[in-house]
Amino acid sequence: MPPIRVLVVDDSSVVRRTLKTVLSSDPGIEVLTPAIDGKEGLEFAERDKPDLVILDVDMPRMNGLEVLAALKQRTPEMPVIMFSSLVQKGSVITLDAISLGADEYYCKPSTTGAEETIELLKRELLPRVHSCVKKNLSTSGFWKINLPPRGGPKPAPEKKVLPGVFAIGVSAGGPEALKNLFSILPPIPVPGLIVQHMPPEFTKSLAEFLGSQTRHPVVEAKHGDQLVPGKFLLAPGNFHMVVEKGTPNFVSLNQGPEENFCRPAVDPMLRSVAKIYGAASLVTILTGMGQDGLNGCKEISKVGGRIFVQDQASSVVWGMPGIVYKEGLAEEALPLDALASTITAVLSGNK
């Protein structure tokens, strides 16, 4: 494998030197010429085409969120790690970054010395670099699919079963996609489940944000929470969420091994949905990098459940929905407004 080419964008010379020391300690990483502000970062990213960008938030000329938005518009497949003290101080900034397509986020450490900082970053930042690039490679090339999916889209079932649950998997660009979808989607007659790739500090904030900005009640799931029609349970950061059989059914949380470099991951949730609900499963895969949800959708398809994905044009990154569509598991790939209409029709038995 060729080395991972990393571009650092930070206005602090101390941070740039520290990151160069940390990244250069890994023989699998090549450190490109760093950028000293946001505008230069965008120029260097276009010129050097790095495999990954490490991006500060608070910078002159263009701040990190502005750079992130421009990068994801021009090269959505390029992984970006937000590296800033601000992602820890305020969840709003982190949610903004995730909505714009940030693939990872790491708070600049506040340690007592340079050596301690370097060792901490070697332990905690380097694995994130490799993880982001591996997730990118897992669906490399799926952002520019113009051909029909292999074998064509999955046909709608001849005998339609009314859904008993609505499950959503989403990653990069997720908060904005969820807000837009939920703003259009009317109240649903079945329980809802969401897995959004996000750290533990922010899933509660996301649930509160969605609950306050849309017509749907959304809560961060707790172990043993019952599935209630009309209510969405959001998997908490660092926990897989699966459905268990009961009266009514409920969710359990676990810290099993990461899947697709993620915890929570979409696949464990979808496997449990397929097992409990079978053909009464309704699944949507929204914007996100990587292929989490693919294997779970295969299980949903086997039991006769129905799958719809967000289309390429409206996705920040068309990795997760793109690979499900390419594999012929989804009936349709739709923009968010059409997706909301389709989900409503399926839930009412009209599609």
Tokens 């970062």 found at: 41
Task: Compute the distance between CA of residue 84 and CA of residue 110 in angstroms, rounded to an integer.
Answer: 11
Q: What is the token pair recorded at 97?
A: 């970054």
Which DSSP category does 2 fall into? P
Catalytic residue among 138, 292, 301, 311: 292
Residue 225 annotated in active site: no
Task: Compute the distance between CA of residue 279 and CA of residue 179 in angstroms, rounded to an integer.
Answer: 27
Query: Which of helix, strand or coil describes residue 345?
Result: helix
Residue 171 annotated in active site: yes
Rg (CA), the chain: 20
Answer yes or no: are the C-beta atoms of 280 and 136 closer than 8 Å.
no
Residues 6 or more apart whose Cβ sits within 8 Å of residue 218 = 182, 192, 194, 207, 208, 210, 211, 231, 232, 234
Which DSSP category does 148 fall into? P
Residue 216 annotated in active site: no
Catalytic residue among 99, 138, 197, 314: 197
Answer yes or no: are the C-beta atoms of 55 and 83 closer than 8 Å.
yes
Catalytic residue among 91, 171, 272, 315: 171
Query: Which of helix, strand or coil describes residue 158?
Result: coil
| DSSP string for residues in 272-294 | HHHHHHGGGEEEEE-SBSS-TTH
Q: Is 118 left (phi over 0), alpha (psi -120 to 50) or beta?
A: alpha
Catalytic site positions: 171, 197, 292
